[in-house]
Structure 1
């Protein structure tokens, strides 16, 4: 499970760094011309939701967080099974 924790942490950090880099980058013409969900009146240039769907950071961070949670649950379950006495 340590491999899952390390891989999940790496994905989470990479995804969060990409999100941070993407949201702090200056807007370009491509950003203004890019497809945005909803109408143009709903998208505000200073809103985080404006950037939804523009980069791969969100799904990578979500996958990393999921891997960390999965590994943590499996570690807790395995340690709980090891602590329980075997009845025959």
Structure 2
């Protein structure tokens, strides 16, 4: 059985990674469609990253997201220790 916290991140005894793509995309003012076009990602990929349901991070996709949003990887990803979950 897989458990999720309120933000959609998987509960894990080692902690989890929270993806802040939704907030960054909102701040950018780009539509989801325009963002997907510029970042060269599929809408299903975008939804997985925004809903924090992606299970394997693709470094090439992360690079394109950061380039498109002009942000750092630290802006995009946050490590949540297990005691805070």
Higher strand share: 2
Tell me the TM-score normalized by structure 1: 0.26
TM norm structure 2 = 0.26
Name which one, 1 or 2, has greater alpha-carbon Rg: 1
Question: Whose helix proportion is higher, 1 or 2?
Answer: 1
